[in-house]
Structure 1
Amino acid sequence: MVVLDVFTLVVALAALGCAVLALRTVRAGVRREGPDALPEDVLGLRQEVAALRAEGRDALRHLAAVRYDAFGDMGGHLSWSVALLDDGGNGVVLTSIHGRSEARTYAKSVSAWRCDQQLSPEETEAIEAARP
């Protein structure tokens, strides 16, 4: 009976040793710097997401279009102004004035939600509509 108890104790100690080794192997991939310790690949993904967000600030994400009649005798709202801006309000406002015999298109650069050139009321409306 004593032999059986000793054998059971040896098996239990061996199982405990295997569990400790397995735990060390699992923890090897985890940073041990506080309660929010995460695997290295998760930290790398966080850095990638932060880099993508930084790149996205320069994307022309704020868009707005205004359609209107530039001339009283024309109908159909064929003239338009569209603002294409990034998070900082930098980009361009495009305008197309449609007349009976021609259409003219203008582009004005916008910096920090402002333009150095004089804006029409419709261009100003497009920029304000694009602002978050």
Structure 2
Amino acid sequence: MTTLAVLALVVAVVALVVAAVAVLRLRAVQRNVEVLWGGSDPHDVTTVLRGEHDRITALDHRVTALGGRVDAVGDHVAAGLRHVSVVRYDAFGDMGGRLSFSAAILDDSGDGLVISSIHARGESRTYAKGVIDGRSEITLSPEERQALAAARKDSRNA
């Protein structure tokens, strides 16, 4: 009989230890659930799911709005004069230092201008010629054509 009583006592102690461990693990799981569900009622799954759905919907609207803004910025960037090429040269044989230059400044569609500055001993002259779709109505010098071609090449590589 004493052996049976000792055995029953051991089983009871083991059951008590198992129950204590189970309670501690349950509390840890409950804390994790509260953190995961943001402190809302852990028994109301519908509320949690509705809240997550609303949050995802709001994020979707924000991403859509940001996509529209990115598209608008892309249009502004394409219209910006960002393709530049400069050709330096000696306009006159008796002058050195390549002080004259032609610069082409274009947007992505090839619109912009070519600016040339011709430096001579006593004076310097500056000219600007409009460019539409990579062409100018005014005849371009070889240096201006070279600058324009380099800027157009840059716009095609962008």
Answer whether TM exceeds 0.5 for this pair: yes
Which residue of 149, 152, 155 maps to 1:128?
149
Equivalence for 1:34: none
Residue deviations 1:54-90 (CA, integer Å, cap 9, x gap): 1111110111111000011110000000011111110
Between the two proteins, the alignment pairs up a number of residues equal to 114
Contact 1:29 1:40 in 2 (8 A): no
Equivalence for 2:92: 71
Equivalence for 2:42: 15
**How well do the aligned residues superpose, as a CA RMSD in angstroms?**
1.9
> Are 1:57 and 2:83 an aligned pair?
no
> Are 1:104 and 2:125 an aligned pair?
yes
Q: Which runs of 4+ in 1 moved over 3 A?
A: none
CA distance in 1, matches of 2:60, 2:48: 16
Contact 1:68 1:78 in 2 (8 A): yes
**Segment drifting more, 20-29 vs 81-90:** 20-29
More helix by share: 2
CA distance in 1, matches of 2:133, 2:89: 25
> Are 1:27 and 2:53 an aligned pair?
yes
Larger Rg: 2
SS in 1 for 2:80: coil
Percent identity of equivalent pairs: 46
CA distance in 2, matches of 1:68, 1:22: 72
SS in 2 for 1:92: strand
SS in 2 for 1:70: coil
Larger RCO (alpha carbons 8 Å, 6+ apart):
1
State TM-score, norm by structure 2: 0.67
Structure 2: segments with no counterpart, 5+ residues: 1-40
CA distance in 1, matches of 2:64, 2:73: 14
Cα 1:30/1:15, change in 2 over 3 Å = closer
